Structure 1
Amino acid sequence: MTIEKPDNLVELFESATEKFANNRLFGTKDIKSGEFNWITYSDVKKRVNNFRSALASLNIQKGDAVGIISGNRVEWAVAAFASYGLVARFVPMYESENQSTWEYIIKDAAVKFLLVSSPAIYEEIKHLKNEIETLEHIYVIDTTGEQSMKYLEALGEKENVPSIIPNVSDIAALIYTSGTTSDPKGVLLTHGNFASNARAGYRRYKNELDENAVSLSILPWAHSYGQTAELYNWLYFGGAIGFMQNMDTLADDFVKVKPTFLIAVPRVFNKIYAGIHQKMEDEGGFKLKLFNKTLKAAREYRLKEGKVGLGTKLMYGIGNKLVLSKIRERFGGQLKGSITGSAQMNNEVTYFFADIGVDVYNCYGLSETSPAITMNSPESNKIGSVGSALEFIDIRIDKSMVDDDSEDGEIQVKGPNLMVGYHNKPQETKEVFTEDGWLRTGDRGKLDKDGFLYVTGRFKEQYKLENGKYVFPSAIEEDIVLLPYVEAAMIYGEGRPFNVCIVVPDQAVLRKTAQFLDVKTDVTKLIHLPNVQEFMAKEIRKSLKEKYGGYEIPKQFIFTEEAFTVENGLLTQTLKLKRRLVIERYKDQIEALYN
């Protein structure tokens, strides 16, 4: 296979900053005014040149590790592309991570230069410079003086060290996966991995994405999904990226940035879907009737491509103006579509957003595959699937791990997107590859006759009940959290006679539920009242009844006011459940349910 140019991130960046020099690239919210300030591709290139020269003056060379502890921001991209221009390895870390994980990654990756976002983080990790032999420099973004990034950029402006073009096989980054039962693993990804994957994704959307495309950056670039799908992909067509301030300001950020396309995860759309439906239920009366009739007309209009009767056409026209346009305005009014990964999107949620005019496309991948393997797109889309293989990527289904007659098995992959391996972990690397060079994803799925992939579960997550029947918990959980009463849920039942479910209620909705039940109790105590628990359990079972077998529907529940969050360690940085840790946290209550 001939590898196309640009086959590395340095040439991709330099080509983009020359071709789209005057285009907006990054937008950052001004805390005081609330407005977004934008800088151009040319502005970013100057900062990258300066910072690369500064790193070179600190003797950062090919193969050295440059670490960063920061959320998405201009300086993240500047540090990344400056490092790539010296053929150094970039090692991103999450801000919302514990100190021991930072220490482990800095030591394991042999970080030589570390950039941190704030003085507070600097105070937490400054002692590591005396404890980790490789760590020579720590600098801070949001500060002034000789320890600041600005100071280094000013020094670099006088040096002018040209970039070095990496080979396709040179390591670009170490992406550390979240370790739930063991230490994090550093995924070694090359320049060729990233460049080929971003190009392949762009080609699926080249009719949708151009210089006018705008993204609101929600997902962390410390994960390969955000990096490849947003940061590197956007360089191919000269689009703009605005940075979300935080999750609490998301609604305002949508309106200010006016994104045309989003890189997201299903959880974002699930919450919006549940919120819209709950709001309409609260409104009731005429507004609720209009909302439901509009959705019905919109779905018929979409499915029949506008070839509907006069009554439906009139209803759609009125509803689109009075209802759907107002929903779209909550996204800034310009959003046309989104691609979601990390988990399977619920079909009903997908249909809902398509009906209101925002198409959501499922994709699938892993950190180990840079990350995209398959993708749906406007020209090639099957709702319920995660799409077909991207160019130059092959998929096979290995049924050796399945002990039944089903047509699915382990999804295995080959292509230019496969990682080199896990850093410093030769045994784990050997185990994740087959003898003939295919990467074992650990996910269970099947291919249809058209090559579309359907993910049916994860071998690490699936379990057998006492009766021998398999359960894939994530699909059940995704349906449960669509209920407005539920913020999060986890199914458990391995080797047990039945499933149980740990439920985190939505506190805001719970207040309204209490009003409905005429319960006058403090909201933090509501979830412990028997009648509230009975009400929520009944609603959960009812929502699952027609879709799942009786053995899959949970028989008993644990209700808790403690949310599953990144901060308390129960979610990964990409918002996936750390199942073993949740089970450990609630093991006594789980045992009590079975006893």
Structure 2
Amino acid sequence: MNTISSRFKLLNSSLNAIASKQNNSWKWISQTELHQNISGAVKTLRDCNIKAGDRVLYKGCNSIEYVSWNLATNSLGAIWVPMYKEQSLSQVNHIINDCNPKLYISDENNVDSIDNKITPSDEDYNIHTNDWDLSTLIYTSGTSGKPKGVALTNANILANIDSISRRFEDHKNQKMTSLNLLPWAHIFSLTTELYYNLLNNNAVAIAEDKTKFAKNLKEINPEYIYVVPKVLKLIKQKCEHLEKVPFSNTIIPKALSYTLGGNIKTIFVGGAKLDEDVAIFFEKHGFNPCEGYGSTETSPVVAVNHNIEPRDINSVGKILDNVEVKIHNDEILVSGPSVMAGYWGNLAATNKALVQIDGKMWYKTGDSGYVTDDNFLYYTGRMSDNYKLTNGKFVDVHVVETEVRKFVSDGNFIVWGNGLDFNVLITDVHVSKNTLHNINEGLDTFMKIKKIIKTDTAQFENAMTPKLSIKRQQLVNQLNHPLLTQSTSKGYTK
């Protein structure tokens, strides 16, 4: 038996495991105390007649209780179905109807759920799950369509953790602490932060919320953080003005170290592509972000850069040792033990995403990219984001938006031209004619941006997924701008 809960059960000591801030002070619980919480949660689940294969839905913030319910569910062979605290009612209803959970746990008052509070127990608990049993259903936020339940087994997730551990072998037995910011309803944080650290004898402190993350960094002094690119972009914006002062090469590293808590060793970045200028800024000043690439369907990591070696700052990392990547018709395909079992109750979507090529199963990522001779993966964009203009010219939107990012460092934006005669920049910040001229200087004639639509930040926020990706078609539909209405019914053209 090799499962998430069985592995953690082998660890039972006074070492710190999880912390949260309560009544203005940090409360740490040890591995032993976490086992007592898990045992108490197991008892409650049994009282609710939860058995192997049942779905347990959890809606709430990251917490010590969250971890306890998660591992208790896994130990019984039941399937963990996490939802974001801020998940919309329509998506909650969709997920409930799709997976038909036997139990709904929430950290808020809800007539349909049970309270997430746990009474710790010293009673031992047994493990009733196997390697290839489903561990979790992660409903993808997606940028189009309804969320699909990605079915991941214990073996899927542990294969990913083991390969990450081998990539970062030099971190082994160093007893690191991570300050958690990202929700565990997202596979990036669930696998690479929560599970990876718990199973490697590391500790995780849970930030109070995103507004207090900077303050919590200085209180916890973590060695690890796991963030989306936007966090590093904001830190860069806070510190880059120091480049104009004398001795900036000495001052900026100190400012970054102070901002990050003074003890940071490794910054893991995922969820979206890290802007090149942000990566260069951090690397220039002594902090090498470990950018990775993956998806929910791959548990999630496919490739990741080490902070020392192997490393290629222009790539999204070296492919993990138990993962295969093939480029087929410009699309990144992935094979290996961390690839999902399929989409819950959706055979048509599963058969579309998982394809047999030369007798091997491959996951179609929908991303374009290429692999170098030394096995580094380069990501060049979402294939579905690309489109044709009315003149038949094919636009690689990643190329255009990369050029925009060189001159527009603040705010949100997308480039849109599907079904139009030319490209349009939609943004929530002012872009001058001179800036637009500079952007267009770096673009082929047919890719040049002819118009700018200025909107407010709320429009972008309403069209964002929990991992801060922008639902492009939704944003365009929301704006209902006369310039865009001719394209809103046409969808994407590959």
Question: Do Structure 1 and Structure 2 share a fold, with TM-score over 0.5?
Answer: yes
Query: Aligned partners of 1:464 and 1:384: how far apart in 2?
Result: 27
Structure number with greater Rg is 1
Letter in 2 for 1:346: D
Deviation of the 1:465 alpha carbon: 2.5
2:245 paired residue among 289, 293, 297? 289
Structure 1 pair 188/488, CA: closer, same or farther in 2 (3 Å)? same
Residue in 2 that maps onto 1:450: 374
Letter in 2 for 1:359: N
Unaligned runs of 5+ in 1: 1-5, 130-137, 142-148, 281-286, 295-318, 400-408, 506-532
Aligned residue for 1:96, secondary structure, equals: coil
Matched, 1:28 2:20: yes
Residue in 1 that maps onto 2:303: 374
Residue in 2 that maps onto 1:510: none
Residue in 2 that maps onto 1:327: 256
Deviation of the 1:107 alpha carbon: 2.2
1:389 paired residue among 303, 308, 319? 319
Residues 108-257 of structure 1: matches in 2 within 5 Å? 108-119=98-109, 122=110, 126=111, 129=112, 138-141=113-116, 149-150=117-118, 153=119, 157=121, 160=123, 162-208=125-171, 210-257=173-220
Aligned residue for 2:137, secondary structure, equals: strand
Residues 256-271 of structure 1: matches in 2 within 5 Å? 256-271=219-234
Deviation of the 1:256 alpha carbon: 1.2
Matched, 1:14 2:5: no
RMSD: 2.3
CA contact (8 A) 2:419 2:486 kept: no
Query: Aligned partners of 1:186 and 1:70: how far apart in 2?
Result: 18
Deviation of the 1:425 alpha carbon: 0.6
Deviations 1:252-286 (A, max 9, x none): 11111212122122121112212323x54xxxxxx
Query: Aligned partners of 1:411 and 1:572: how far apart in 2?
Result: 22
Aligned residue for 1:580, secondary structure, equals: helix
Identity %: 27
Residue in 2 that maps onto 1:422: 343
Residue in 1 that maps onto 2:458: 563
Letter in 1 for 2:483: I
Residue in 2 that maps onto 1:577: 470
Structure 1 pair 551/245, CA: closer, same or farther in 2 (3 Å)? farther
Letter in 1 for 2:91: T
CA contact (8 A) 2:391 2:421 kept: yes
CA contact (8 A) 1:199 1:236 kept: no
Deviation of the 1:200 alpha carbon: 0.8
1:439 paired residue among 363, 366, 376? 363
Letter in 1 for 2:334: V
Query: Aligned partners of 1:541 and 1:242: how far apart in 2?
Result: 47
Aligned residue for 2:195, secondary structure, equals: helix
Query: Aligned partners of 2:150 and 2:177: how far apart in 1?
Result: 29
Aligned residue for 1:487, secondary structure, equals: coil
Query: Aligned partners of 1:26 and 1:234: how far apart in 2?
Result: 10
Aligned residue for 1:44, secondary structure, equals: helix
Query: Aligned partners of 1:481 and 1:205: how far apart in 2?
Result: 31
Q: TM-score, normalised by structure 1?
A: 0.77
Number of equivalenced pairs: 483
Deviation of the 1:500 alpha carbon: 0.6
Would you tell me which structure has more strand in proportion to its own residues?
A: 2
Residue in 1 that maps onto 2:491: none
Matched, 1:591 2:484: yes
Letter in 1 for 2:341: V
Deviation of the 1:250 alpha carbon: 1.9
Structure 1 pair 550/329, CA: closer, same or farther in 2 (3 Å)? farther
Residue in 2 that maps onto 1:410: 331
CA contact (8 A) 2:77 2:128 kept: yes
Letter in 2 for 1:379: E
Would you tell me which structure has more helix in proportion to its own residues?
A: 1
Deviation of the 1:169 alpha carbon: 0.9
Letter in 1 for 2:6: E
Aligned residue for 2:58, secondary structure, equals: strand
Unaligned runs of 5+ in 2: 488-494
Deviation of the 1:387 alpha carbon: 1.6
Query: Aligned partners of 2:442 and 2:170: how far apart in 1?
Result: 36
Query: Aligned partners of 1:492 and 1:258: how far apart in 2?
Result: 42
CA contact (8 A) 1:338 1:359 kept: yes
Deviation of the 1:235 alpha carbon: 2.3
Aligned residue for 1:424, secondary structure, equals: coil
Letter in 2 for 1:555: K
Residue in 2 that maps onto 1:315: none
Matched, 1:398 2:328: yes
CA contact (8 A) 2:52 2:128 kept: no
Residues 35-50 of structure 1: matches in 2 within 5 Å? 35-50=25-40
CA contact (8 A) 2:420 2:486 kept: no
Residue in 1 that maps onto 2:419: 495
CA contact (8 A) 2:380 2:398 kept: no
Letter in 2 for 1:220: P
Query: Aligned partners of 2:18 and 2:81: how far apart in 1?
Result: 21
